[in-house]
Structure 1
Amino acid sequence: MANLFRELRDPETGRWLPKEVWYRVRGAIAVFLSLAVLLGGGWFVYGKVHDAWLGYRTAEDYIDPAGVADVVVEIPQGSSTKKIADILLAADVIRTGKAFERVAASDPNVRKIQYGLYKLRTQIPAKTALQMLLDPANQIKNQFQIREGLRLSEVLTSLAESTRVSERDFQAALKNRAALGLPSWIGKSNEGFIFPDTYNLPLKPTAGSILKLPITEFKKTVQDLGFEERAAALGYKPYQVLVMASIIEREVGRDEDRAKVARVFYNRLEKGMLLQSDATVAFAVNKTGTVWTTPKERQSNSPYNTYKHKGLPPGPITAPARKALEAALSPADGKWLYFVPINLDTGETVFSETLAEHNAATAKLQQWCLASAENRKKCS
């Protein structure tokens, strides 16, 4: 630095040399200007590249996982990935359906998305939207349940209470059978296909949209079970097997007994015997809450009275759940013609091949019923 200043002064007088100072200042300015041009150009190029990259990223997808505002979306039952993408796009949750479909294609968990209502955010990345749909915490729980073993009138009463849609509306919706989309082999009765399960209530519930949920689940279940093909393999029509499953649903309390009871009834049918199912008699006389019947009730002339009429009743007596459907399709191996529970608390049931064996088992049930006042109530 000292040498630099010596070069800018006269060695004899020590005075500044204006011309030398000017040369040095001009050189410094030139270097500074060159550097400024270089930096400015670099910043300009960076800005253009950044804008191009940002534009590329946001052309198909939003980038802020926080989003803009809350939004509620409804994912219908059985929606495909494309259908979900279209719904999210319409609600401005995602920027393009293509972005969501691409993210979903790389995540096998997309199949776990449940139908129902979800609280999401608008303008979020497709990946964030998928994560939110897979998180149960974001699902709005507004559910109703259809319990196993209920006849249709009980189901409609329960639905009216839990959904605030009138029974009259449900009955009207059931009359429009073409709109229900039922399998072609379903009979005229409305019993049998309002599948028991727990469902998420639609955003704007109507009788039709509510009934669509259990009916869709019924169709999916019979398809999964290969119902028509397996019924044919048994030598029965699918509707007959559905009727059988409905009887099993009402007659059997324990999982391990369903296939055995199915075998008892199939054996009786094949031998031309009366089914003698108390559950069908209870249905015939409109008795709910129990399958126990009286001798007088078993004299009913209803075609559902299998103490009087041979063969299966003309229609289901309830909507069977999957386990009863499976039992009707896969009866156990055995020659049993009779069954009777001998302990109503445990459900213990005796299966017999002869009437003598059955009478002995029935005597055990009678002993159990007489063992206490509480037991007598359960046997009435």
Structure 2
Amino acid sequence: MKKVLFVFGLVIVVVGIVLLWGFFGPATSFRDKVYYLEIPTGSTYGQVLEKVSKDNVVKYPSLFDFLAKRLNYPDKIKAGRYAIHHNTNLLNIIRKLRNGAQEPVNLVINKLRTKEDFAGMAGRKFESDSIRFLRFLNSNDSLLPYGLDSNTVLCGVLPDTYTFFWNTSPQIVMNKILENYKSFWTSERKDKATEMGLTPVQVSTLASIVDEETNNRNEKGNIASVYLNRLKKGMRLGADPTVKFALRDFSLKRIYHKHLLVESPYNTYRVTGLPPGPICTPQKQTIDAVLNAPSTNYLFFVAKPGFTGAHAFAADYQEHLKLAREYQQFLDSLAKNPKAEETGH
């Protein structure tokens, strides 16, 4: 009898050790350093358990189920994106899920050219898909409090890093981004825009054109002055990047006369004044470059030969033609078929 009790007790001890090791020892089944477990809004415990098992998150789903139920996790399912690190034990995994300790999502916005670009990027980052984000971007009622509409909404999407949770709704995501836009437009910046006879949206739209013209910070002010001078004189802006936007072909390296035929309110070779909205997300520093543009008599500019990123500026059209021919000759010397004629700014 004593031998039976000893064996029985030994079995209990072994089982206890196994269970303790199962609960507190390394429990993950994946090889990567981290696995991101995404639990959609409205998920049931059964769906979570199925995902944990199907995706090989843990070695022993039955032990996960056993411990989860004793920690009341089935009644405390929280949607989100959770970082499960390699060799984490079951107790810590379940506690993280039960407490809703999500991994933050950084939405890094640099240059985006269209609403579809933004919606696609956001749809890959969040639980909501791109269609839901695009729906918000096209909702004039949602954008009205920010002084924006479906054409100008990208004026409010300033390049920056924004932190959210994976299951944050499109409305909350956009509200945070647009509040940043409102904060950026201080009274001082608004006053400068007013003195120029422009609204914040118009300044941002012009800044988007400047951003597409150059990455050279030192020249943004001068390029802005060219377009400001043209606006004052009632001249067409004649900005090549607006033609690319109108064509939705951002791969174009040279703009030819055939491209200028496109019928679009964004084609500033055919329409006078600013386009109805930005052609990319304007950088803060470029908006400031527009607001603080130097007073010049420049009306034209063209890239200098050599792909240095520098531009030559001119107040006289004949001087501009001379500079433009020099640049065209440089391009033609590199091109295989230099027959087509390129336009100047």
Could you state the TM-score of these two structures normalised by the residue count of structure 1? 0.57
Letter in 2 for 1:316: P
Map 1:293-304 to 2 at 5 A. 293-304=255-266
Letter in 1 for 2:304: I
* Structure 1 residue aligned with 2:135: 172
Larger-Rg structure: 1
3-state SS in 2 of match to 1:339: strand
CA distance in 1: counterparts of 2:124 and 2:333, whole angstroms:
39
Is it true that 1:355 corresponds to 2:311 in the alignment? no
Letter in 1 for 2:332: L
Could you report, residue by residue, the CA deviation over 1:4-55 in whole angstroms, capped at 9, with x for unpaired residues?
Answer: xxxxxxxxxxxxxxxxxxxxxxxxxxxxxxxxxxxxxxxxxxxxxxxxxxxx
Kept in 2, the 8 Å contact 1:340–1:361? The answer is yes
Residues 1:213 and 1:291: Cα distance change in structure 2 (over 3 Å): farther
1:261 to 176, 199, 223: 223
Q: Quote the offset at 1:277 in angstroms.
A: 0.6
Residues 1:238 and 1:210: Cα distance change in structure 2 (over 3 Å): closer
Q: Quote the offset at 1:239 in angstroms.
A: 2.6
2:214 to 252, 255, 259: 252
* Structure 2 residue aligned with 1:324: 286
CA distance in 2: counterparts of 1:194 and 1:235, whole angstroms:
23
CA distance in 2: counterparts of 1:157 and 1:289, whole angstroms:
19
Is it true that 1:143 corresponds to 2:118 in the alignment? no
Map 1:35-50 to 2 at 5 A. none
Is it true that 1:231 corresponds to 2:193 in the alignment? yes
Is it true that 1:219 corresponds to 2:182 in the alignment? yes
CA distance in 1: counterparts of 2:232 and 2:162, whole angstroms:
39
Is it true that 1:152 corresponds to 2:115 in the alignment? yes
Letter in 2 for 1:358: H
- Superposed CA RMSD in Å reads 3.1
Map 1:47-58 to 2 at 5 A. none
3-state SS in 1 of match to 2:324: helix
Q: Quote the offset at 1:147 in angstroms.
A: 1.6
Kept in 1, the 8 Å contact 2:125–2:166? The answer is no
User: Percent identity between the aligned chains?
Assistant: 26
CA distance in 2: counterparts of 1:188 and 1:142, whole angstroms:
26
Kept in 1, the 8 Å contact 2:138–2:150? The answer is no
* Structure 2 residue aligned with 1:34: none
Q: Quote the offset at 1:142 in angstroms.
A: 3.0
3-state SS in 1 of match to 2:108: strand
Kept in 2, the 8 Å contact 1:304–1:314? The answer is yes
Is it true that 1:314 corresponds to 2:256 in the alignment? no
CA distance in 2: counterparts of 1:291 and 1:329, whole angstroms:
29
3-state SS in 1 of match to 2:161: strand
Q: Quote the offset at 1:322 in angstroms.
A: 0.3
Kept in 1, the 8 Å contact 2:140–2:150? The answer is no
3-state SS in 1 of match to 2:309: coil
CA distance in 1: counterparts of 2:253 and 2:157, whole angstroms:
20
Q: Quote the offset at 1:188 in angstroms.
A: 4.7
Q: Quote the offset at 1:210 in angstroms.
A: 2.3
Could you state the TM-score of these two structures normalised by the residue count of structure 2? 0.62
* Structure 1 residue aligned with 2:24: none
Kept in 2, the 8 Å contact 1:149–1:249? The answer is no
Kept in 1, the 8 Å contact 2:139–2:149? The answer is no
Kept in 2, the 8 Å contact 1:267–1:335? The answer is yes
CA distance in 2: counterparts of 1:182 and 1:259, whole angstroms:
30
Letter in 2 for 1:251: E
CA distance in 2: counterparts of 1:152 and 1:290, whole angstroms:
20
Letter in 2 for 1:153: E
Q: Quote the offset at 1:179 in angstroms.
A: 4.1
Kept in 1, the 8 Å contact 2:104–2:165? The answer is no
3-state SS in 2 of match to 1:144: strand
CA distance in 1: counterparts of 2:146 and 2:249, whole angstroms:
29
Kept in 2, the 8 Å contact 1:247–1:280? The answer is yes
Q: Quote the offset at 1:252 in angstroms.
A: 2.0
* Structure 2 residue aligned with 1:277: 239
Is it true that 1:192 corresponds to 2:155 in the alignment? yes
Q: Quote the offset at 1:258 in angstroms.
A: 0.8
CA distance in 2: counterparts of 1:149 and 1:279, whole angstroms:
14
* Structure 1 residue aligned with 2:25: none
3-state SS in 1 of match to 2:279: coil
Q: Give the count of matched residue pairs.
A: 242
Could you report, residue by residue, the CA deviation over 1:55-101 in whole angstroms, capped at 9, with x for unpaired residues?
Answer: xxxxxxxxxxxxxxxxxxxxxxxxxxxxxxxxxxxxxxxxxxxxxxx
Kept in 2, the 8 Å contact 1:187–1:315? The answer is no
Residues 1:330 and 1:205: Cα distance change in structure 2 (over 3 Å): same
Letter in 2 for 1:160: G
CA distance in 2: counterparts of 1:156 and 1:235, whole angstroms:
32
3-state SS in 1 of match to 2:301: strand
Map 1:88-127 to 2 at 5 A. none
Kept in 2, the 8 Å contact 1:274–1:308? The answer is yes
Structure with the greater relative contact order (CA < 8 A, sep ≥ 6): 1 or 2? Answer: 2
* Structure 2 residue aligned with 1:9: none
Q: Quote the offset at 1:289 in angstroms.
A: 4.1
Kept in 2, the 8 Å contact 1:246–1:317? The answer is yes
